[in-house]
Structure 1
Amino acid sequence: MLDSKSTDVVWHSHSVSRKDRSEQKSQKPCLLWFTGLSGAGKSTVANSLDCALFKLGMHTFLLDGDNVRHGLNKDLGFSDTDRVENIRRIGEASKLFSDAGLIVLSAFISPFKSDRQMVRSLFPADEFIEVFVSTPLNICEKRDPKGLYKKARAGTIKHFTGIDSVYEAPENPEITFDTSRQSVDECVEQLIELLKSRNII
């Protein structure tokens, strides 16, 4: 029996191009990929940047790890295999939003270098921006905004990144923040400047 997932699938080209959609919005599409431990400040910084860009009249969309697991990825758990699939789906979704001409912000722990590289490979070299929120584990665990570290230490949550599952830190991210040393406003200001320097906004 033939594999129905790999046959009779033909790419359909659209009349309105990615370039057309980008020019209509007077911005350059890109993906800002926020990675770091739980509690590092990824979602907080990404949300604040999203608000700042919206006020500047930019067209954006924010994808957040917990929110996506309520819908698109609700069938996935937290095993290594499911984490890989989680990031693969988000990478493809981010590419679709980018093809629509949007500035996409994705905030995911994304602990594996190979997964982040896979997402990077979907984008032109100058349109993927890896944002490493490098807040130390002890600070993240002290914050523990969702009580997840406490549960992981108690053994009620398995495969928790930083406790019993590895986090592979980026080696050459486009930009790095430590939210135990920098304010959210400082992080957003630096990201805005980076986007301007790349002629994205």
Structure 2
Amino acid sequence: MNNIHTVFDKIKSRQFKERILNQHAKVIWFTGMSGSGKTTLASLLEEKLFDAGFFCQILDGDNVRSGINNNLGFSEEDRVENIRRIAEVARLFLNCGIIVICSFISPTKHMRQMAKEIIGEDDFLEIFVNTPLEICEKRDPKGLYKKARAGEIKDFTGITSPFEAPENPFLSVENAEPEIEKTVERIFKSVVPLLRQ
């Protein structure tokens, strides 16, 4: 570490970049079980924010694991490292004045607390997609629950590995109803006041 010399003090500030983008950067962190609807909600929220003139970047579980985290598995240690790296990347975007929409199971309180500490408590907006397990399993868009029930996937969240629900999220939504547009509108109205200059 002695040979590392950061240049954060020599680059344009986050505030400078936020003024150019005319927004306050935040990290909107969707958490919930596989199949809960995190990615769908994140994508629809991004669309609404862009339509309203905001500049965003989505970080999604499968996308990140196909690139920067493609060397990680699903052990407890690797899952923690997955979230740590994501939080560090989100913080880099945040420092560019960009609104970051993260969509990750992030199943434990410890993982989410670590992410919040890396990003900064004031900039971390945790949204719990509180979809019941039976609905997630019925959707099963990737066939993962079926494989987990058959013993083909170990340590699968909600089946053989726990999901610890957030106790005090910024927002909790149930993505069980068919009117997903209403859920997205609720999220949009909750976050927009914090994003405006």
TM-score under structure 1 length normalisation: 0.93
Secondary structure of 2:100 counterpart:
strand
Aligned pair count reads: 196
Distance (whole Å) between structure 2 residues aligned to residue 138 and residue 47 of structure 1? 23
Contact 1:135/1:180, CA 8 A, preserved across alignment: yes
Name the residue aligned to 1:23: 19
- Does residue 179 of the first structure (1) align with residue 169 of the second (2)? no
Deviation at 1:9, TM superposition (A): 1.1
Name the residue aligned to 2:51: 55
Deviation at 1:174, TM superposition (A): 0.4
Secondary structure of 1:198 counterpart:
helix
Secondary structure of 1:129 counterpart:
strand
- Which of 21, 33, 40 is the matching residue for 1:44? 40
Secondary structure of 1:130 counterpart:
strand
Secondary structure of 1:170 counterpart:
coil
Name the residue aligned to 1:3: none
Deviation at 1:7, TM superposition (A): 2.5
Q: 1:87-126 alignment to 2 at 5 Å?
A: 87-126=83-122
User: Could you list the runs of 5+ residues in structure 2 that have no partner in the other structure?
Assistant: none
Name the residue aligned to 2:161: 165
Q: Deviations over 1:9-64 (max 9, x none)?
A: 12212331110001100000000000000000000000000111111121100000
Deviation at 1:182, TM superposition (A): 6.3
Compute the RMSD of aligned alpha carbons. Answer: 1.3
Q: Return the letter of the residue paired with 2:5.
A: V
TM-score under structure 2 length normalisation: 0.95
Q: Return the letter of the residue paired with 1:53.
A: L
Contact 1:30/1:200, CA 8 A, preserved across alignment: no
Distance (whole Å) between structure 2 residues aligned to residue 82 and residue 123 of structure 1? 19
Name the residue aligned to 2:74: 78
Distance 1:50 1:199, change over 3 A: closer
User: Could you list the runs of 5+ residues in structure 1 that have no partner in the other structure?
Assistant: 1-5
Secondary structure of 2:16 counterpart:
helix
